[in-house]
């Protein structure tokens, strides 16, 4: 790799004091407003998230890249950022949770602040100021002084009136020493709907283009975009490793990837890495398609909302039978979280309704009223699968309310988590022939061997060396 000495990458990190402060709404509007100006905007998202990057990608036309400071090592993060930013006029990084919230009590591990430090990027804070005035200055001052972040501007979210905005603006600039760049007014025209695991997906959001247009209008009218762009362009020159052009294999076999409203949780880099290793990705819908794409040599079924679309999924018996037959023939299949649920015998929703699923595994997926094993973990392979060999590890995350009821104890992986200084371990994962499923979501850049192993099994199924 070559060193980029003093390279200029105009960049901004969008942060907030806490979740629910308007980061996603502001980030979307900012991307749309700068795209209107003819800029090529490269989006990024801090942390383990699938829904926000889909909104980013739809707005900018460039694939949003996840930057996770806990799952990925710093050199990998820097390479992903440098690679993603190539050819862009401006890179916008949407943060996660509150500015200093990440893995445990460490304010810089896995947090937005930690990522801003790694990227040497200026931070723009969006603050919702309901029921406060000068206290907003104390919050801004505390966030500015607490850690090594370059807080360069603040945007006020939902002031109750122009007078309210002016009071808060004056207090922040006087006592926190941070410039206020404008505000987002209260309006119901830009609200994004939520469900049990977060925002409703971009593919399900009605009138999304209209919402984005309104957002861009509000930002152009009420926020100093010229000053924001100058902040981004004045970001310190960044010495970074320029990734060498990958040795991309010619597509030699096909991997079928489930993608529709029910299954859409994929990291862009996961799919990109499979392609770089020689796979051609062909997409199919477990809701609509009656058979797998022709000549498929492997199947990847990611997470999503199978619990929401269970009636439509269960009605497509032809596809489920095709998948089950391919499993018996030894085709490599990987089901992750929602995809793992789909590979089991059936699913029971909150109302007690039972829906038949693929049935490669004899377990039953059932909804619960709380998150299961929520958060970051490390996965340890207990036996060989299509993804890992015994003893191999990868950092991962879990975010689901369902669980699998099973009668066997033939587990093939171990989850490990350290919380409050105590280590917790549990067993998970299911294997049948060349089929493997588990709840944890993994990011291939955290351990490329997992992608290499899967591709190797698909190549072998295709009869290739």
Q: Which residues are catalytic?
A: 337
| DSSP at 108 | T
3-state secondary structure of 84: helix
CB 155 within 8 A of CB 126: yes
Over its C-alpha atoms, the chain yields an Rg (Å, rounded) of: 23
Question: CA nearest 117: which of 99, 130, 135?
Answer: 99
Residue 146 tokens read as 């607490």
Q: CA–CA separation, 87 vs 14, rounded Å?
A: 21
**Backbone φ/ψ region at 386: left (φ over 0), alpha (ψ -120 to 50), beta:** alpha
Q: CA–CA separation, 135 vs 154, rounded Å?
A: 14
Q: Which alpha helices (H) appear in 3-134, and where do they start and end?
A: 23-36, 51-60, 74-85, 112-119
Burial 193-230 (b: 16+ CB within 10 A, else e): eeeebebbbbeebeebeebbbbbbbbbeeebbbeebbe
Phi, psi dihedral angles at 406 (to 5 degrees):
-140, 155
Residue 288 tokens read as 């609509």
What pairs with residue 125 in β-bridges? 15, 154
Q: CA–CA separation, 179 vs 170, rounded Å?
A: 9
Phi, psi dihedral angles at 216 (to 5 degrees):
-60, -40
Phi, psi dihedral angles at 102 (to 5 degrees):
-155, -125
3-state secondary structure of 29: helix
Beta-carbon count within 10 A of 233 CB:
13
Question: CA nearest 9: which of 45, 40, 49, 52?
Answer: 40
β pairing state of 151-157 and 123-128: parallel
Phi, psi dihedral angles at 135 (to 5 degrees):
-60, -25
Beta-carbon count within 10 A of 187 CB:
11
């Amino acid at each position: 790799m070559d060193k980029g000495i003093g390279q200029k990458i105009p960049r901004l990190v969008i942060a907030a004091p806490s979740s629910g402060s308007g980061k996603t709404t502001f980030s979307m509007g900012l991307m749309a407003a700068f795209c209107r100006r003819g800029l090529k905007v490269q989006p990024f998202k801090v942390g383990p998230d699938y829904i926000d990057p889909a909104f980013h990608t739809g707005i900018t036309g460039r694939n949003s890249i996840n930057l996770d400071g806990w799952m990925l090592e710093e050199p990998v993060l820097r390479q992903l950022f440098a690679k993603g930013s190539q050819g862009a006029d401006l890179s916008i990084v949407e943060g996660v949770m509150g500015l200093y919230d990440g893995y445990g009590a460490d304010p810089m591990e896995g947090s937005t602040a930690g990522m801003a430090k790694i990227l040497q990027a200026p931070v723009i804070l969006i603050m919702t100021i309901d029921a406060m005035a000068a206290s907003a200055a104390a919050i801004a001052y505390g966030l500015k002084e607490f850690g090594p972040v370059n807080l360069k501007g603040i945007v006020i979210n939902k002031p109750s009136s122009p007078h309210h905005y002016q009071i808060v603006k004056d207090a922040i600039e006087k006592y926190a020493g941070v410039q206020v760049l404008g505000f987002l007014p209260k309006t119901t025209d830009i609200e994004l709907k939520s469900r049990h695991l977060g925002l409703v997906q971009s593919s399900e959001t009605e009138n999304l283009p209209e919402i984005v247009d309104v957002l861009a209008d509000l930002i152009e009218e009420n926020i100093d975009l010229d000053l924001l762009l100058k902040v981004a362009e004045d970001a310190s020159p960044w010495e970074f490793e320029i990734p060498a052009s990958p040795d991309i294999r010619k597509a030699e076999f096909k991997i079928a990837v489930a993608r529709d409203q029910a299954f859409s949780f994929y990291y862009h880099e996961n799919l990109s890495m499979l392609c770089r290793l020689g796979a051609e990705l062909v997409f199919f819908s477990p809701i609509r398609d009656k058979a797998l794409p022709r000549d498929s040599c492997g199947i990847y079924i990611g997470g999503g909302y199978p619990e929401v679309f269970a009636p439509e999924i269960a009605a497509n018996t032809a596809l489920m039978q095709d998948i089950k037959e391919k499993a018996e023939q030894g085709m490599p299949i990987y089901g992750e979280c929602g995809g793992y649920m789909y590979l089991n015998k059936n699913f029971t929703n909150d109302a007690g309704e039972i829906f038949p699923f693929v049935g490669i595994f004899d377990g039953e997926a059932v909804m619960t009223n709380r998150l299961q094993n929520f958060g970051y973990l490390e996965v340890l392979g207990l036996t060989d699968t299509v993804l890992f060999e015994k003893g191999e590890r990868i950092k991962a995350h879990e975010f689901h309310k369902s669980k699998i009821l099973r009668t066997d104890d033939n587990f093939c992986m171990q989850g490990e988590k350290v919380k409050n200084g105590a280590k917790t371990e549990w067993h998970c994962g299911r294997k049948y022939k060349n089929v493997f499923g588990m709840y944890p979501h993994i990011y291939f850049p955290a351990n490329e061997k997992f992608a290499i192993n899967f591709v190797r099994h698909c190549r072998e199924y295709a009869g290739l060396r």
